[in-house]
């Protein structure tokens, strides 16, 4: 029985089904007991519906219990299998907070309308005392069939939990954690100080509406009540903001790990983002959102930014670095999509399909070969021979094109591609010119009037890289003069923030000009690939400190860590920081298990794995090392 409490005694009343475990045990028992029953699925659905009605407080509890027992047709021999299933379905946050369950075992009571026969083995394995489990008990017939339950148990009745609580007459503060209406009833009856709606496994509107606090995990409950927890900060308090219609898979991946995710369809302008960023720890954007100094000034919680695309010119990477904010992108996931679009566009432009199709829509039949060409044998000029340029090189060559490329840095020529020593050389040789440079500032107006002048008459011109790389008025003139026989443009110096904004640009209405709304990388495949890739990088940084693949931070790939703490120290790249970290640790006689350092430009990144024991003073001293930008304790 419960010990005689002191005045300050706190009691934690915890529900079992869908709180302590991820599932409803009666549903699981049905799956076992109804094996081979042709109506199994229908009966399981009915059991689940009855459970939900009872949990929402929509039908009487005792009625629900009897109906479920009748439907289950279960036997004593099914229970070991049920216990095995349930032991693998303990809620994650309970699993990781075993220390709390053990340390506070005297104060934790499991009060459930489920059954002792399966609850006790599960909860005692995590440190709960069997005498602190209050639940129903099954009635068996002589053959071991489950035929009912002890109807005298208050927990078998409506308002059973409050009735039991009255009997227990606990003296002290009572906190109830549960996912069902019957848990709230304890608070409703004035028998608890606070009711915490537990939503890690299931969210019930009526229960949430009555909660004093919604707790998406046990971590949150422990955090708000200043109780010992395995995580120093609950993940649900870490807010992820995903802009620009990022594929929903990304949201799923963050939510699976317990983060709070907010999605916005379009981009935000600087002022809007500067406001929204204040409570955001992880930001996901695509090519439109500008992450400027002004935005970053308010980004006090921001740990990392994910560009769910290739280009990162929209992010002030230097300012991020100075603030210890790590940026990642997806350097490969959409490259194939851009390559395929570029190939398709070359063919369309060489065959004058834009005009021909427009005429057909107007009812004009213009069958003619004049001005239409194959791409086979034509000279393709790639400006920028990076991930996209090189892939395009290979595919274009396979289609019979002769490939030339120009890149600022020396790149290995793939296949028979020929390197041009200067941009001008390429411009003068090629029949089709396509831009695939990155969007660095220095590339603004890389192609302007002079460059168009150098090109062959009737050249086909493509830009799928960044809008500012081309001087648009110069391109307009080149099209109008016939210098450029056809152009495909996917990117623009200014692009609408959302699909509701009008696209305004001088290129509108020009003949044989194919305009697309920055969709080079917008395929289902690419977007899903990106949504799998970037969260992986961000989570690896948040959870483990890995910066491998970051575009603005020293790259460190770290080993996983067991039974140790990981300290992350980001500092200005000045001499002596490592020595200071180690001298503080030595003063506290803390053993270093592993240490990793890398620097990049003005920033240094040190990871130190230490033995279990450390205290607050060490952390304060480490944070106070001059030139520290950010310090974070991982485990």
Ligand X SMILES: O=C(O)CCC(=O)C(=O)O
Ligand Y SMILES: NC(=O)C1=CN([C@@H]2O[C@H](COP(=O)(O)OP(=O)(O)OC[C@H]3O[C@@H](n4cnc5c(N)ncnc54)[C@H](O)[C@@H]3O)[C@@H](O)[C@H]2O)C=CC1
Q: Catalytic positions, please?
A: 466, 495, 518
Q: Which 584-613 positions form the footprint of ligand Y (CB under 6 A)?
A: none
Question: What is the rounded distance in angstroms from the CA atom of residue 197 to the CA atom of residue 56?
Answer: 12
Q: Which is nearer to ligand X, 183 or 316 (CB)?
A: 316
- Contact present, 413 and 419 (Cβ < 8 Å): yes
The count of residues interacting with ligand X (CB under 6 A) is: 8
Considering only residues 121, 266, 311, 536, which one is a binding residue for ligand X as defined by CB under 6 A? 311
**CB 514 → ligand X: shortest distance, Å?**
17
Would strands 592-600 and 603-610 be described as parallel, antiparallel, or unpaired?
antiparallel
Question: What is the rounded distance in angstroms from the CA atom of residue 189 to the CA atom of residue 184?
Answer: 9
**CB 527 → ligand Y: shortest distance, Å?**
11
Sign of CA dihedral 79, 81, 84, 88: negative
Q: Does 306 bind ligand Y (CB under 6 A)?
A: no
Q: Does 463 bind ligand X (CB under 6 A)?
A: no
- The residue of the chain with the least Cβ separation from ligand X equals 309
- Contact present, 371 and 352 (Cβ < 8 Å): yes
- DSSP assignment of 494-563: S--SSTTS----TTTT-TTEEE-SS-TT-SHHHHHHHHHHHHHHHHHHHHH---TT-SSS--------SS
Q: Which 410-449 positions form the footprint of ligand Y (CB under 6 A)?
A: 436-439, 443, 446
Q: Cα(first)–Cα(last) distance of the chain, in Å?
A: 36
Considering only residues 393, 522, 552, 628, which one is a binding residue for ligand X as defined by CB under 6 A? 522
Q: Does 551 bind ligand Y (CB under 6 A)?
A: no
Question: Torsion over CA of 397, 402, 408 and 411, rounded to 10 degrees?
Answer: 50
299 contact choice in ligand X, ligand Y, none (CB below 5 to 8 Å, kind-dependent)? none
Question: What is the rounded distance in angstroms from the CA atom of residue 16 to the CA atom of residue 136?
Answer: 12
- The residue of the chain with the least Cβ separation from ligand Y equals 386
286 contact choice in ligand X, ligand Y, none (CB below 5 to 8 Å, kind-dependent)? ligand X
Q: Does 311 bind ligand Y (CB under 6 A)?
A: yes
Encode burial over 141-164: b for 16+ CB neighbours within 10 A, e otherwise: eeeebbeebeeebbbbbbebbbbb
Encode burial over 467-485: b for 16+ CB neighbours within 10 A, e otherwise: bbbbbbebbbebbeeebbb
**CB 465 → ligand X: shortest distance, Å?**
8
Considering only residues 218, 490, 546, 569, which one is a binding residue for ligand Y as defined by CB under 6 A? 490
Q: Does 468 bind ligand Y (CB under 6 A)?
A: no
Q: Which 32-91 positions form the footprint of ligand X (CB under 6 A)?
A: none
Q: Which 270-309 positions form the footprint of ligand X (CB under 6 A)?
A: 286-287, 309
- Look at the block and give the residue holding tokens 């057909």: 360
Maximal C-alpha separation, the chain: 98
Considering only residues 334, 443, 463, 547, which one is a binding residue for ligand X as defined by CB under 6 A? 334
Q: Does 464 bind ligand Y (CB under 6 A)?
A: yes
Q: Which two tokens stand for residue 281?
A: 């720890």
H or E element in which residue 486 lies: strand 484-489
388 contact choice in ligand Y, ligand X, none (CB below 5 to 8 Å, kind-dependent)? ligand Y
Q: Does 381 bind ligand Y (CB under 6 A)?
A: no
Considering only residues 383, 403, 459, 475, which one is a binding residue for ligand Y as defined by CB under 6 A? 383
416, burial (CB in 10 Å: exposed 0-12, middle 13-18, buried 19+): exposed
438 contact choice in ligand X, ligand Y, none (CB below 5 to 8 Å, kind-dependent)? ligand Y
Per-residue binding letters, 507-546, with ligand Y (x by CB under 6 A):
-----------x-xx-------------------------
**CB 312 → ligand X: shortest distance, Å?**
8
Q: Does 407 bind ligand Y (CB under 6 A)?
A: yes
436 contact choice in ligand Y, ligand X, none (CB below 5 to 8 Å, kind-dependent)? ligand Y
406 contact choice in ligand Y, ligand X, none (CB below 5 to 8 Å, kind-dependent)? ligand Y
Q: Cα–Cα distances in Å, from 561 out to 224, 231, 234, 565?
A: 27, 15, 20, 8
Question: What is the rounded distance in angstroms from the CA atom of residue 30 to the CA atom of residue 262?
Answer: 37
Q: Does 465 bind ligand Y (CB under 6 A)?
A: yes
Residues forming contacts to ligand X in the complex (CB under 6 A) are: 286-287, 309-311, 334, 521-522
Residues forming contacts to ligand Y in the complex (CB under 6 A) are: 310-311, 334-335, 338, 383-389, 406-409, 436-439, 443, 446, 464-466, 490-491, 518, 520-521
């Amino acid at each position: 029985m419960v010990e005689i409490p002191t005045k300050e005694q706190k009691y934690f009343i915890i529900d079992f089904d869908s709180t302590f475990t991820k599932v409803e045990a009666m549903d699981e028992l049905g799956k076992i007991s109804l094996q081979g029953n042709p109506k199994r699925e229908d009966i399981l659905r009915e059991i689940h519906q009855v459970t939900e009605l009872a949990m929402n407080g929509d039908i009487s509890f005792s009625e629900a219990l009897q109906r479920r027992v009748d439907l289950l047709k279960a036997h004593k021999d099914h229970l070991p299998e049920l216990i095995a299933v349930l032991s693998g379905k303990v809620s994650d946050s309970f699993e990781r907070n075993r220390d709390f369950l053990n340390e506070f075992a005297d104060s934790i009571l499991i009060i459930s309308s489920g059954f002792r026969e399966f609850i006790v083995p599960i909860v005692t394995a995590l440190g709960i005392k069997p005498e602190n489990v209050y639940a129903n008990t099954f009635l068996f017939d002589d053959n071991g069939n489950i035929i009912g339950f002890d109807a005298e148990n208050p927990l078998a009745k409506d308002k059973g939990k409050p009735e039991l609580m009255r009997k227990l007459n606990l003296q002290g503060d009572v906190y109830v954690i549960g996912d069902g209406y019957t848990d709230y009833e304890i608070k409703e009856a004035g028998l608890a100080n606070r009711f915490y709606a537990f939503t890690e496994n299931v969210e019930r509107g009526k229960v949430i509406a009555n909660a004093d606090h919604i707790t998406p995990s046990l971590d949150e409950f422990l955090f708000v009540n200043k109780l010992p927890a395995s995580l120093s900060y609950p993940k649900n308090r870490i807010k992820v903001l995903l802009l620009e219609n990022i594929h929903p898979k990304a949201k799923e991946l963050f939510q699976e790990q317990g983060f709070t995710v907010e999605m916005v369809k379009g981009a935000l302008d600087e002022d809007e983002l500067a406001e929204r960023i204040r409570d955001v720890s992880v930001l996901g954007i695509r090519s439109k959102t500008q992450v400027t100094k002004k935005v970053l000034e308010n980004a006090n919680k921001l740990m990392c930014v994910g560009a769910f695309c290739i280009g990162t010119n929209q992010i002030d990477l230097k300012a991020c670095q100075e603030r210890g904010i790590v940026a990642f992108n997806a350097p490969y996931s959409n490259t194939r999509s851009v390559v395929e679009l570029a190939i398709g566009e070359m063919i369309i432009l060489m065959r004058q399909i834009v005009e021909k199709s427009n005429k057909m829509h107007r009812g004009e039949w213009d069958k003619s070969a004049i001005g239409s060409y194959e791409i086979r044998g034509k000279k393709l000029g790639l400006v920028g021979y990076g991930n996209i340029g090189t892939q395009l090189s290979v595919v274009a060559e396979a289609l019979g094109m002769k490939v030339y490329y120009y890149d600022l840095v020396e790149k290995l020529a793939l296949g028979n591609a020929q390197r041009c020593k200067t941009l001008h050389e390429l411009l003068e040789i090629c029949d089709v010119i396509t831009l695939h440079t990155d969007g660095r500032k220095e590339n603004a107006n890389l192609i302007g009037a002079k460059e168009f002048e150098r090109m062959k008459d009737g050249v086909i011109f493509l830009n799928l890289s960044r809008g500012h790389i081309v001087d648009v008025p110069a391109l307009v003139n080149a099209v109008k003069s016939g210098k450029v026989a056809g152009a495909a443009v996917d990117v623009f110096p200014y692009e609408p923030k959302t699909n509701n904004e009008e696209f305004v640009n001088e290129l509108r209405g020009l003949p044989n000009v194919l305009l697309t709304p920055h969709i080079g990388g917008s395929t289902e495949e690419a977007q899903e690939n990106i949504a799998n890739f970037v969260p992986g990088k961000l989570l690896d940084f948040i959870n483990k400190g890995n910066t491998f693949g970051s575009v603005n931070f020293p790259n460190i790939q770290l080993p996983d860590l067991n039974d140790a703490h990981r300290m992350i120290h980001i500092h200005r790249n000045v001499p002596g920081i490592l020595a200071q970290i180690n001298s503080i640790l030595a003063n506290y006689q803390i053993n270093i298990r592993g240490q990793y350092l890398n620097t990049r430009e003005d920033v240094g990144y040190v990871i130190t794995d230490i033995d279990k024991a450390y205290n607050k003073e060490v952390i304060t001293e480490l944070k106070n090392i001059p030139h520290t930008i950010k310090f974070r304790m991982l485990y």
